[in-house]
Amino acid sequence: MVSRFTDRDVDVKVEIFHAIRNLMSATVRKEGIFAEPRLLRMPSIGPPPILVRTVSSAILLEQHVSEIVNGIMKQMQTVDTYTKSAAFSVLRELCIVRSGGLEIWFNQIFPCIVETGKERDTEIRSKALDLLHLILTKHNSLDCVPFIPSLCQYIVDAINHRTTHLKVQGLRCCQVAVNVVRPTFDDFNPELLPPLQAFYESTLAQMRHVDIEQSVKVASISALANILVHFGDHLPLDSLPLFLDRLQNQVTRLAALRALTAISRSPLQIDLSSVKQEALKIVVEFLKQVSLEVKHEAAETLNALLSSSGSGVQSEFPELLTHVSSFISDGDLLLTHLVLDVISTLLESQSTLTVPSEVVEKSFELLASPYLQGSDALGSLQRLFVAMMGSKKSLSYKEILEKITSVVSSGLSVEGFTSVSQCVASVTMKARKKYQNQTVERFLAEIESKDETVSHVALLCIGEIGKHKDLSSTLAGRVVFSAFSKESQELKLAASFALGCISVANLDIYLRDLLEKIHECPKFRYLLLNSLREIITFHHLQFDRVKVLRKHTDAILPLLLENANSQDEGERAIVAECLGKMIIIDCSKVMPVIVAHLDCPSATTRAVVISSIKFSLNGDPQIQGILRSKMEKFLALMNDDRHQSWSCDNCRITNKASDSVCSCHIVTHPNGSDKPAVHLKVWRPVRDVERQAFLTLHAILKHDVQLVASFLHKDASVEGDPRIFKSVFEATKFRPELVKEIDMGVVKAKIDYGLPLRKASFMCMETLAMFADHWISFPSYIQNLSNGLSDPEGDVLMLTYRIFTLLAKRRGADILSELDNLPTDFTGGLKKQLRLAKGNDLEADRARNVLTTAVEALNAINDIPGCASLSKLRVFYQVILKTPLLRALVDKLNEEKKKRVK
């Protein structure tokens, strides 16, 4: 195709350019998202990016890049604008696909771009500006800087052009060109100052225009702000009042807020004293706006202005504190987080400020909120309490500590207890050492309190403090371990958490003791393993802590493997998580052991080690490399049938024979003989190895589909579906032999022991549709997905409907030909759920949820272009609309859709 670039027919030439562009796009395109790393042209550093469809196509593209670019450069000499326009499109796509990589052709590309400035055709100028913006964004600034002087006049001409979209593109190019000249705010070449002044003057001229389009106003604000952010120390600041004018305009308000935020946070410490006081007054008023976006941006800007250079408004700070305190609530945690940061910034910069009572009251009310955990507002609240403690006219450490602990009550949520303990630790670690020791002694004493609430918060506080302070000189370890014997399950878990946390600060003492206790105290093994999990989790998240725990791998690993065969499912789950995180901490030691134990005779151990892989997926190249090399062994467990075992629901003991009777079901008859009570036999088939393998595959597909790409490709030499698809498809089938009838005395219940595996397989079906749809053979996929439509379990039905919705929205054209036979499969599941939905119990609610998902799937299918040509499906949808309950659900979904559109 490259050889046809010189074709005499312009139309043919343009079509060839479009074909080349589409082929390049198909190499790494996945639903409109492109691979960011430059791995396509750096094959030696590892595997290709996640979104590369096949390695061969990427390499093929690399082999022809030089030919493509040189061929395009020759075509740039033509006078035909259509050819030039198509050529720019190819260069743009190439720049996206390779994330840059065009620097060796800059001497040819940039002159061609500048030459378009003489063209009258605005479309080709627009494409040239678009390419320029992309090149400046994607390439190293050092490669682009030498060309800025020659590009300057071209960009300025675009900014001053009468056409709106060229103005906007010119301003965007100006913005990135400024970043290129001074990317790190260090000294720059003085010879580049004239081009920068030209950028500044042309942008300022556009900024001063009142009667221009909104897009130009917004683009000029962003460009001028970026120029001041990077060169405010070399340019006049007389343009700052213009930003205040733009704040008053509803159309440009958000852009002006973002601009002031950026200028305020510039490392150049721009002096804003000339506009700061007026800006604060205006921005504070924006907090009263109805628009959430305006409120959030206003709070961001307020915090940036208060942190910036220039002062002289201290007299208004007390009034400002009172005003912003009204926005502290859990109704909008993002705004609360931003407002709390504003208050903290004020208190940290003005230690003589008096904290209004409204701020204190609302802050401690917020602390009790169950929604605080996991939000940025909690960190901001901790910062505020520390800032209060440092303010001369605010609360002392003891007063703050009492107020924090006074939030605790018997009705406080679990999340509330956690928030309180974290705030206690934050303020305690900023207090004097004397107060720290007193606080630790107080909480150790309160652990033994008969009041469960007091004991609970004390354990959590000791744990949070123990993360940062070595408590080995106290009786903390002994006191916390004694709480394992308390009756309350919440207190036991809090004690387990506390023991793990206090071990973090002194592993040499506490970890050895903890490992010994796991061996010696089987009664508390679950809690002790949970403590070990806290230690491992804390260390694997912090790079500087990884080396500390790595020294103890030889002691931790054997213990985890020993407990991988535990009969307690909860213990095994903790062990799997710990093993996965230990892979991150010490991959070279742990991963070979994990791989070796995939062949362990114990099915429970195999299930644990394959499950541990889920917790090791963090993008580490070493881990990724080992996983890729051993993936065949991991995936083999999806069809694991070694030592098929059965487990007793009563005592959890496993047995290889399905026709035996567990000893716990041996009953003594009146005649004294022991006879197996066959009707009490509740052995269930254990397929946990396969289930965990499927769940691990589900996690791998979400993390990095390239790890299993070779098992998703169709092998022409092998009949049937690729390996992963084949295993997943097989597991979707309902197996009646795994449904067991259990005699529960009064009634007999049927339990489907194949359900967990089927649910895991349908989860994989969903992730395959989301992340590997370009490998899917849709006839085979839809045929096996239809197994879920006739499944008796509602959970499987919901997953199946969800997948159909996903496919209809993303790959509707590809699945259309397979859909006309769906009504037959849909009918059985819908009828059953309609019967169940007639009641008023929990089962009826669940059935209505299933039906809602089914209607969403049918609506999505009905929206596929061309669906009206499928007669069976069309008739079936009309029947759905005649069913009252389903019609009501359809109407409800349509109403919600209209609201979203509005």
Please indicate, yes or no, whether the overall pTM of this predicted structure exceeds 0.85: no
Position 774 confidence tier, pLDDT thresholds 50, 70, 90? confident
- Choice among 64-73, 287-296, 611-620, 640-649 with the minimum mean pLDDT: 640-649
What is the rounded distance in angstroms from the CA atom of residue 804 to the CA atom of residue 807?
A: 5
Q: For position 176, what pLDDT does the model report? A: 93
**Is 678 a residue whose pLDDT tops 50?**
no
Whether the per-residue pLDDT at 247 is higher than 70: the answer is yes
Q: Is the pLDDT of residue 47 over 90?
A: no
pLDDT at 642: 62
Residue 229: per-residue pLDDT: 93
Segment 348-361, tens digit of pLDDT: 888 778 888 888 99
pLDDT above 90 (res 653): no
What separation in angstroms does the CA of 207 have from each of 122, 239, 241, 855? Answer: 23, 9, 11, 51
**Contact status, residue 416 vs residue 409, Cβ threshold 8 Å:** no
pLDDT at residue 301 above 90? Answer: yes
Residue 9: pLDDT band with limits 50, 70, 90: low
Is 130 exposed, middle or buried (CB count within 10 Å of its CB: 0-12, 13-18, 19+)? middle
Under the banding of pLDDT at 50, 70 and 90, the label for residue 661 is very low
Per-residue confidence (pLDDT) for residue 85, from 0 to 100: 81
Q: pLDDT, tens digit, for every residue of 591-645? A: 999 999 998 888 899 999 999 999 999 878 888 888 888 898 898 899 876 645 5
pLDDT reported for residue 316: 66
Q: Where residue 346 falls among pLDDT bands split at 50, 70, 90?
A: confident
Confidence of residue 90 (pLDDT cuts 50, 70, 90): confident
What mean pLDDT do residues 434-448 have?
94
Helix (H, G, I), strand (E, B) or coil at 486: coil
pLDDT over 90 (residue 762): yes
| Cα distance between residue 99 and residue 58, in whole Å | 13
pLDDT at 688: 87
Across 54-65, average pLDDT = 60
Domain 1-31+42-139: which CATH number of 1.25.40, 3.90.550, 3.30.70, 1.10.10: 1.25.40
Predicted confidence at residue 532, as pLDDT, reads: 96
| Average pLDDT value for the chain | 84
What is the pLDDT averaged over residues 653-678?
42
Q: What is the pLDDT of residue 216?
A: 93
For the stretch 104-114, pLDDT in tens is 889 988 998 99
d(CA 181, CA 152): 12
The two structure tokens encoding residue 349 = 């910069």
Task: Please tell me the predicted confidence (pLDDT) of residue 61.
Answer: 67
Which pLDDT band holds residue 856 (cuts at 50, 70, 90)?
A: very high
Q: What is the pLDDT of residue 738?
A: 86
Residue 1 — very low, low, confident or very high, per pLDDT cuts 50/70/90?
Answer: low
For 822-837, give the DSSP string.
HHHHHHHHHHHHHHHT
Q: What is the pLDDT of residues 531-589, one digit of tens each?
A: 999 999 999 888 788 888 999 999 999 999 999 999 899 999 999 999 999 999 999 99
Q: Is residue 727's pLDDT more than 80?
A: yes
- At residue 240 the predicted structure's pLDDT band, cuts being 50, 70 and 90, is very high
Per-domain boundaries in the chain: 1-31+42-139, 143-236, 777-901
pLDDT at 45 over 60: no
